[in-house]
Amino acid sequence: MTTQQFQDLQSQLVRCWQGSETFVPDSTQGNIQERDIVVIPSLSFPQRELAKITGYTHYEERQLYTLIQLRNPHTRMVYVTSQPLHPSIIDYYLDLLPGIPSSHARERLLLLSTYDYSDKPLTAKILERPRLMARISQALRSDQAYMVCFNATGLERELALKLGIPLYAVNPDLLYWGTKAGSRQLFAEAGIPHPDGSGLVQSETELAGEIVHLWRRNPNLHRVVVKLNEAFSGEGNALLDLRPLSEIQSWPEPSQVIAITQALSQMQFQAPQETWASYRDRFAELGGIVECFLEGKTKQSPSVQGQITPIGQVELISTHDQILDAPDGQIFLGCSFPAAEPYRLMLQKYGLKVGEQLARQGVIGHYGVDFIARPGEDSDTWDLQAIEINLRKGGTTHPFMTLKFLTNGWYDSGTGLFYSYHHRPKYYIASDNLRHSKYHGLLPNDLLDIIARYHLHFDSSTETGSVFHLMGALSEFGKLGITSIGNSPEEAKSIYDQAIQVLDQASQ
């Protein structure tokens, strides 16, 4: 399989692109609305990093929002998972489809499973099963099909080549721009404000040296954040407090490097159960960067999402304020849409610049940019600092796409608001991390019973309510995902809080 073969395959996307997320086949094939979508919701990350996320094996369910594309009667879909999905979960999503019988959609959906419970990425499991790949291929009209995934690696590229269909995602050869070091380089080239920091380093001594240089450039610096180059969701971050080391500021640089090297074992790790021994091994393997930790009592963590079409056009999709947890707000738990008004349009401006720079590098597909927002010297202004780029779908993708397909609305880049088909502005709060010990043992059918009894479902007449995901993680891990949609931020928060209250009470 050569690079040229993959590029030739990808050229089909350009031929079939219509200027939106919808692909259509060559007009020579007749009905230009026919299309087949292969959904591979693999989390193709290092498994040691994934293991830090409770119930990650069920995160393949987060892309079930793609089922809503079956509302187009000319769309067929193949959805592949590691484990079979509970039928009630599929019925739940198909019943959300507006304007089409769920039975009609079900006939156009092929669910396949590897029946493999190992820790390997789903895509690797598929590649190990030639007969399963043959079943996928047999279900497709290859000239009318494309593949989508959560994140693209060499595995997804190999699968696309074996299936003979294009992949709507970044070419894995360009993934550098989604690493921590690549993000910092691109921010600098695009003129996007970002914290002072280092390039890629691989060893403890290099890391300590960069921390010393960073501290010398910023003598009032309190803390630095060290990041694994390819970690995600903040799980690869660690904080080093420099204040207990203040006496070494006057030391010669070689002595400072030795002292900082010794202090690295005292870093505060953001992932539970992380140790210096395990982190050091991962740092040696992946490399990483260090940058100034942005202090502030009032800090927000907004993000902007966009996509780059196969013809190189950059489209803004959404902005969010992220909900973060862990000792110092480094780990993603959920989000609210849209981002706060004072910095929403500035987020869009920076997000567009990043997208244009990525497009110049040849990137296509979804991307997101995370920021830190702090009040400026003027009470009416905010200081935005770019933190990292994600060249993949993320934790904000599935709630926004759920909103879009449920309400048949559009994103207004002039205001940063989303309007439903009925011209109502829409707001939501979403989380992947509703967790409670009482939820353990609840089956998907139990959850659906609670949703029905207490009217927690999404109401298409008011375009408000909650949509649930990660149902497969509920019984084993006591964990659930939710998107609560309202006609105002206050209503979305009220719906969200009510859903949690009801779930807690009904689970007793």
Residue with tokens 């009894």: 453
Q: Which residues contact 259 (CB under 8 A, 6 or more apart)?
A: 245, 248, 251
Hey, where are the domains in the chain?
3-169, 196-292, 302-506
Q: Give dist(CA 385, CA 370) in Å, integer.
A: 9
Domain 302-506 has CATH 3.90.230.10: no
Helices within 442-488 (DSSP H only): 444-453, 474-477
Cα 348 to the center of its chain, rounded Å? 18
Q: Give dist(CA 172, CA 10) in Å, integer.
A: 13
Across 41-119, the runs of DSSP E, i.e. the strands, are 75-81, 109-113
Which parts of the chain register pLDDT below 70?
1-2, 15-33, 233, 325-332
Amino acid sitting at position 39: V
Residue with tokens 């693999």: 42
- Smallest Cα–Cα separation from 126: which of 77, 160, 86, 85? 160
Q: Give dist(CA 346, CA 378) in Å, integer.
A: 16
Q: What pLDDT was estimated at residue 103?
A: 95
With beta carbons less than 8 A apart as the criterion, state whether 364 and 392 touch. no
Amino acid sitting at position 322: Q
With beta carbons less than 8 A apart as the criterion, state whether 64 and 55 touch. no
CATH topology (fold) of 3-169: Rossmann fold (3.40.50)
Q: What pLDDT was estimated at residue 327?
A: 55
Helix (H), strand (E) at residue 146: strand 145-149
Query: 333-360 as b/e, with b when 16 or more CB fall inside 10 Å?
Result: bbbbbbbbeebbebbbebbbbbbebbbe
Residue with tokens 């997320």: 21
Q: Give dist(CA 127, CA 158) in Å, integer.
A: 8
Q: What pLDDT was estimated at residue 34?
A: 81
Could you tell me the strand order of the sheet in which 288-292 lies? 268-269, 237-241, 223-228, 288-292
Residue with tokens 């959560």: 150
Looking at the DSSP bridge assignments, the partners of residue 365 are: 308
Cα 406 to the center of its chain, rounded Å? 20
What are the angstrom distances between the C-alpha of 9 and each of 35, 142, 157, 256? 16, 11, 10, 53
Q: Give dist(CA 192, CA 153) in Å, integer.
A: 27
Q: What pLDDT was estimated at residue 328?
A: 58
With beta carbons less than 8 A apart as the criterion, state whether 308 and 391 touch. no
Strand pairing class (35-40; 75-81): parallel
Q: Which residues contact 194 (CB under 8 A, 6 or more apart)?
A: 184, 187, 188, 291, 385, 386, 387
Could you tell me the strand order of the sheet in which 35-40 lies? 109-113, 75-81, 35-40, 145-149
- Length of the chain equals 508
**Helix-strand-coil percent breakdown of the chain, rounded to 5?**
40, 25, 35
Q: What pLDDT was estimated at residue 30?
A: 45
Q: What pLDDT was estimated at residue 33?
A: 62
